[in-house]
Chains A and B, each alone.
Chain A
Amino acid sequence: QKEVEQNSGPLSVPEGAIASLNCTYSDRGSQSFFWYRQYSGKSPELIMFIYSNGDKEDGRFTAQLNKASQYVSLLIRDSQPSDSATYLCAVKGAGGTSYGKLTFGQGTILTVHP
């Protein structure tokens, strides 16, 4: 089982819709969870992080965390064509040699069509 798993997609949604991106992780001791956006040929850009169970909202983005189910999601409301990118879920190691290490999922390609 991969440490961090995402549906690779592509996920296609119409402009104005809600895009839902999902991620599961295997290390139950993980404490920090991140969502990065990556445009083609560019470096990953941090858009959300979450530590506690529940929802965290920032503008059109909502991150959701359920540690019991080892599940993280990202909702993008009112999706825009400029949101078309690859979204990377990342999980931070809790300690020891994993301290500070971000483990990434393979990414979900999102396409928002007009």
Chain B
Amino acid sequence: EAQVTQNPRYLITVTGKKLTVTCSQNMNHEYMSWYRQDPGLGLRQIYYSMNVEVTDKGDVPEGYKVSRKEKRNFPLILESPSPNQTSLYFCASSFPGANGYTFGSGTRLTVV
């Protein structure tokens, strides 16, 4: 089944403890992206990647890192999480020029 898989689905962590949210797609998509979703603000892009080893900042990149060492994987790294990073995170992928994205199931992160 074609899909984007995110892990974990839920995570509660403490301020400053490094964490990684994994994202993997099995559709051979070149384009991958991370979004966060907050009430009243919609989906905002954190980082995106056009292909392996090609990444760039989105609209809200502060406090996040990404890497794209393999085409299928695009992990999101929070080196020192803070409470304002409490949010619902989505990974998405597509072919360039495709009709929209395929989204993962989401990761609900709480930083206390």
Contact = CB atoms under 8 A, between A and B. Distances in A.
Nearest to A105: B42
Contacts, number: 54
Given A43-B104, A43-B105, A106-B41, A100 B99 contact: no
B45 A101 contact: yes
Interface residues of A, number: 24
B70 to A, nearest CB: 19
Contacts of A43: 90, 103-106
Contacts of A49: 99-100
Interface of B: 31, 33, 35, 40-45, 48, 50, 56, 58, 90, 92, 94, 96-97, 99-101, 103-106
Interface of A: 4, 8, 32, 34, 36, 41-46, 49, 88, 90, 97, 99-107
